[in-house]
Every structure is written in C-alpha cells, then in structure tokens.
Chain A
Amino acid sequence: MNALSKRLFLNTLIAVTVALPSLAQEAHVGDLTGHAASGKKLYRRFCVGCHGPLGDGNGENAPWIDPKPRDFTAATFKCRSTPTGTLPTDQDLYNSVGRGFYNSNMPHWDALTDQMRIDLVAYIKTFSPRWKSEKAGDPINIPAEPAVTMQSITHGAELFQKMECWKCHGQQGRGDGPSAATLTDSKDQPIRPYNFAAGGDDSRFKCGVTNQDVYRIFMTGVDGTPMPSFADVIQPNDAWDLVHFLRTLQTNRHSKENDVLKAAGGKIPVKAADAPSGSGGQ
C-alpha cells in the first residue's frame, strides 16, 4: 500500500517535472507559436553539428569554426532589440535564425518554414534556466529617422571621435584601431571589430542591414563581444547622426548618406577640438 502510493507520487512528480519545462518552452512571434518538442527534432537535424547536443556550442564542427558557434547555455546573445545584459525577445532570435550571421559560419535558415524557425527558437530557450526565471528585456525605443543632412553626418563624425569608436574600429572604420589587435570575446577567443569599408552594396552588419539595425547594434551593444552598449551615453537623435556618419564609412556602398556627402564635396568638416589629441592637452 505504502510503497504503491509512494510510487504513484514519484511517478506524478516525474510526470510533472518532465511535462512542465516543455509546457513552458514556447516561443511567440506574431501568430506563430513555436514548440520546443518540435524544435528539438529540427535542432538535431540542422543545428547540432555546430552548436552541439547540449547547446553549448561544442558540436563536432566547432573546432574548425571561427567565430565559435553560440553557446546557448550562457544565454548571452549578440543581436537583440533589448538592453545589454537582458534576454532577447523571441522575435530577435527568430530574426537571427532567418538572417544568419554575416562573417561567420552561421547560414541564413530561410529555407526552413516560419513554423520550423519558431520551433527552433522555442528549443534554443530550453538550454538555459535564465529563460524560466527572467523575462526578455523591453526593446529599446527607436524614434523615427530624421532626414540625412550634412549637419547630421558632421555631428555623427564628432560623436565617432567623442565616443572613441575609432579606438577599435579605426579612424576610417576599417576595423584597425589601436585596440583592435587585442580584442577577445567573452570566451577569450580573438575577435575583430567590424570593418565598415569592406564590401559594397551587399555589405551587411552582423545584426541586420537597415539603418534601424545599425542604430540598434550600438545602442544595445553586441553582448558577449567587446562592443559595449551606448544607450546610456548617446541621446536618441544623436544616435541617428552617428548612424548617418557610419554609413559614409561604407565607401563602396550606394546610400543616401554617401550621396549627401558627395554633393557636399565629399569631405566632412572637422572641428579642431575633435581631432584625436596625442598628448591630450586640456
């Protein structure tokens, strides 16, 4: 009698603990609902080779891959609409799976259906307990983009100096600043700052291609890498000016920013005070 009830209790306990996580592990984007159970099968077919059966980025291909596959157990994600240190939204992860990661071995998985991708997102979220104890961060607010003007570009160039973006990205944005060679990611792997000048009209950033994406990247930071968040130190309108300037660093890419710059003679006026000072005379 006693043993039976004990076993019953244990069975229920096991059933509940097994069922609960899978119940909790859903992902939502628009009308889509992703399920971890379906995602697991897809993961084992498409993702396991690099990200590994445990989701820790130690798949059998991982030793030959640089940058390393994402470790989902750390729940640190590069491309987020949410503040640094917070979990990304389901939409962020869904976008990342569909977009892939430029300059890495992560392809864009747009050959999968929308349902398959959202199922994968649901499964990816089972690898870290953070998804049970924390909510995704609130996406940062991005105001409407102002017109591209020479004034905006010039102010952006001043910010590029003031925020010392050039320390890593270099004065021409070629990823060759004084600190570039020493950079490592949070797993101590060497990592390169983005080279804005590489590529032409097809140039992409890790987290997207639009001006809004550029805005989001430096405001939220790229977690797990040396790229910090500037949300606390750049005002929203200033941020748009910086976006407009960064576009002019993509010298081989056709853009309204480059058109405006070209029409103004191709040179950004530099204020003497903003030039990087060697000995820092105050």
Chain B
Amino acid sequence: MSSIIGPKQFQIPRIFPRPMSHSGIWYWLGTVDHKKIGTMYGIVSFFWFIMGGIEALLIRVQLSQAENDIISPELYNQLFTMHGTTMVFLVVMPLSAAFFNWLIPLQIGARDVAFPRLNALSLWVFIFGSILMNISWLTGEAPNGGWFGYPPNSTIQFNPGNGMTFWVLGLNVLGVASIAAGLNFIVTIINMRAPGMTLMRMPVFTWMTFITSILIVLALPILGVAGIQMTGDRVYGTNFFNSEAGGDPIFWQHIFWLFGHPEVYILILPAMGIVSEILPTFARKPLFGYTFIVFSGIIIGFMGWFVWSHHMFTVGLGPAANTAFTLSTMLIAIPTGVKIFNWLATLWGGSIKFTTAMLFSIGFIAMFTIGGLSGVTHAVSPSDAQQQDTYYVVAHFHYVLFGGSIFAIFGGLYFWWPKFTGYMLNERLGILNFIIMLIGFNLQFAPMHWLGLDGMPRRIYTYAENMGWELSNLAATIGGFLIAFSVLIFMVNVFISRINKKLASGDPWDARTLEWSISSPPPHYNFVEIPKVEHIDDWWYKKYPELLEGSPKQTKSPKVTVEDTSNVDESKIHLPDLSYYPLFVGVGLSIAALGVIYSYALVTIGLILVFWGCIGWSTEPVNEPHEKHH
C-alpha cells in the first residue's frame, strides 16, 4: 500500500524531521501510538499519585496528635488543596485515561484511536498542565484555597499571591486535555468498532469509557467557563465572584458542582468498567445482566446531572431546593445498587480464582458498598447539616474514590499488566499488596466516620486536646502509612517483574475480550487482521465455541490461539506516522498559561508555539511521502 499523500499544499518549513525509528526519546516524543500514549499517561499519573500520597501523609502526620505544630497552617492549606486537586485531576482521571488509551482500540478491534495526533495532544497538554500546576510549589506559593476553590476565599481580594491563579490556570489547561480525549474516545467508540461489534456487544469497560467520555465532554467545559471567570477575577479585575463588588460566591458553587458532580461519575465509571471485566474472567462466568449493568451506567451518567446541589445543603438554598436535591440524590442509589447486586450475582455460582486482580475487584465491591451507604446518609439532608464539611464526608468520598476507583485501578493494573508489558507480576507480592492496602485503607478511613460524627470539621490543621479526636486520628495516620507501604510493595513488584522477565502469554488469564486474542505486549499495529465479532465476549466464544451449543462441564482445549505475528508483512498495515506538533501545542499552551501569571512575553511565545504547532499539524501529511512504506 502506498502512503497517503495530501494534495499539493502550503507546507511550512519542517525544522524537525519526523522521527522514523521505533525507539528512543525522539520516538516517544512524537508517538501517536495509543499504547505508548497510554503508557506515558500511566507513568506520569503514577508519579503524581506518589506526590499526592506524600501530601496526604504530611497531612496525616500533622493530625496524628492534638495541638501538633509540625506543619504550619499555610503549608497545611496548600497540602490539602494540592492533595485533592492532584488526586482528582492528575491521578484518577489520567490513570483512567491510561486504561482508555491502552484498552479501547484493543477491545473494539481497532488499530488506533480515531484521532491519533489529537490523542498525543491530550497527553502532552496533560503532562505540561500538571507540571504548570505543581511549579507553584517551587515558587513557594502553592494553591491554598481548597480543591473546590470557593470564593471569596479564593479571590484576589482575600487570597493575594499567585497560588490560586496557578490552580485555576492549571485546571483550564488540563480541561483542554480531558475534553480532547473525551471527544476522541466518543468518535473512536462510535466509528472504529470491528465489524459485527454492535453497541450491545461492546465490553462493559468500553461502555463505561463511552459514558465517561460523554460526561467529560459535557462537564469539563463548565469548569472551563468557571475557570475563565475566576482567572478574569484574579488577573484582570472582573467581578464574577468578588463579593465586595456585589459578585456572588454561591454562583461559583453552582457552576463548580454542576461540573463537580458529573466529575464524581467520571472518576468512578471507568473503575466500574474495569471490575466488570475482571469479575467474569476469574469467576469463569459471563457478567450477570450485561444489559442492566450497561443501562444502569447510562442512567447514573444521566442522573449525575441533577444532584449537584447536594454539595450545598448548608448554603441556604431553602427547604424546597433541599427537598428536590435530596430526592434526586437518593434516586441514584438505585442504579448503583443494581450494579452491586449484578456483580454479586456474577460471582454467585462461579468458579472463583483469587488472583490479585480479582481480590482488588472484590475489595472494590465491598468498599464501594460502604461508600455508597454513607452516601445515602449524606443524601438525608437534615442530618447532613451535621455531617457536611466534617470528616464524615472525608470518610465517605475516600471509600468511593480510594476504596472504589483506586482499588479498581490497582485491580486493572494487575489484570492488564501482562498485556501492557509482556511480563507477569508476582502474585504473592500482589496479594500482600492487596491485604496491606485493604487493612491500611480501613484503618485510615473508617475512624474518620466517627471523627465526623464527633464534630471534627474538615480542613483544620490542628485541634484541641479535650475534643476526644486523638485516638481515631492516630489510627488514621497509621493506616495512611500502611497504604504507603502497600504502594511500595506494588513498585517493588513492578521492579522485580522487570528483572525476572517472566514472560506473559497473550492470554494468561483465559480471559474473554478481544485484547487477549493478540500477543503480549501487542504489536504496534494491534491486530494482523481486524477481527469479526459475533458475540459479547467474542474471544471467549471463539476459544470455546461448544459453549454456544450447550452447557458442557468442561471446556475443551481452546479452538483458536493468540494470533501469530511472526510472518506478518507490516508494510501492508497502514498506521499514522509520528508527529511532533501535538507536543509543541501542548508545551505552548502551558507556557502561555504561565505567562498569564508572569509576563506577556511568555504568553506571546506560548501562543506562537501553539499557532505554529496548529499550522504545522494541519499541513503535514498523515504519512511521510517517502520510500519507507514502499
């Protein structure tokens, strides 16, 4: 196949020749391969996971006893602001994006995402946006107004300095990355499915990615608008939220949570997708009630738009609004409950193998249930007036976001690690990792329930001795260090797998979906031939077609094996060439944003980079017109 050459058109001078090798730093900087991009998403967001974890540990050290003064109040405020911002925007979202990138093309039988260069743009904008936000630490002015940035405490009038400006600009840059990625995956999932893969034959993870992407595309622009308004207030003297000029702080809360509540589902739906892949694999049973699980996901995504004011039960919206949002919030418990029961039914009657991935998934159900139940107690808005802004809330959302999202993500890492790297992780270490994380997690966050009910507010850097909060806080701190230890075990496990190089087969878990039908790690073109899909869990039924006829006691040995790639003529497979332009645009955006704080010269440089990148991007041919592919 000859390469695609665009019509003769204006071409700007090519300062950087396209990298053509498949390794080395220049290759990684220019790659548009969804797998490489997924890997980079994973590595960078894991780095921020460590940073956010260190921030959490410092918070826990400070709170371990009453009247502690290890950390100053100013630093403490910066730590909890950056812990929340980091874990939401730089860890759970991009770690989910790492899974989207790696798995979606593989699960739907495609060679790449719909817009590979846009995908690279998302990655680079994310990376430089995350750096932009954290540069603030080096200036000594890290954001200190909370991850929710409530004005007036976040306005320039009450919070001078650059901290919250870094925060809001960082969020705006990161929003670009998320929206681009969301669009990309929507288009990919709609258009690039292999023949025969109808919507209702898609793996559940693909479904949840699809719903999440729609939520991202609808929710992140709201944050973007709020962020531009706040940037205006802080830098250019506008008065959207400036209460001294009549601006309305409640206005910010509405738009922030109108984004913020769908955001919660952006964080948890991918986790639900991951678990829905792992449970059937190790129970050797199909997912119970595929249709119900998919539709409850859709309903959660839809109803997530009608509950935002439950974050605002105490701001004085009045009994009518509180009633409406109480009821809408309670309704969400129904589709969530359905999912939990369906997962349990998947396990029921199965033949369960307790791999690390499976343990994390079962742990997910157990912990997420607790978070869901405490969520129902929050929905009861009269009693929520006691719990709002106390440690009870902290306990609740960590059960959902750590016991939920992070447990599932770890499960996903153990499950797909062989596919991602070609090497197996050590299961013994994995199980140790799970057990310590489970104990540490509960030791840290369960006592926070009582702390909240005992009247300990959130975001306080110290508390008095006679309040009766010491024991629970000490337990929580110990738990925090146990979690840190379990993450360390994971890193050791990764390190050992690099040394031992225990090779993984293409389908080490006897799994069900298309990504397991190819070798581990997959070749850069993914599938030699695009598969034809006939069922849900197509790979499973290709392996064991006898299951379609009856219910045999035993599976015969698989009918098909993982694709052999030794005799593939790669030149027959069309893949997009590398491009540096996404990198330029990504760097340019962050430089321009930094310039908003420091100087217009930087803004100019950044914008020139962005425009140059965009023009170069739109004029470069998809593939280099040269001899390589002939």
Whether A associates with B in a native complex is no
Residues of A within 8 A of B (CB): none
Residues of B within 8 A of A (CB): none
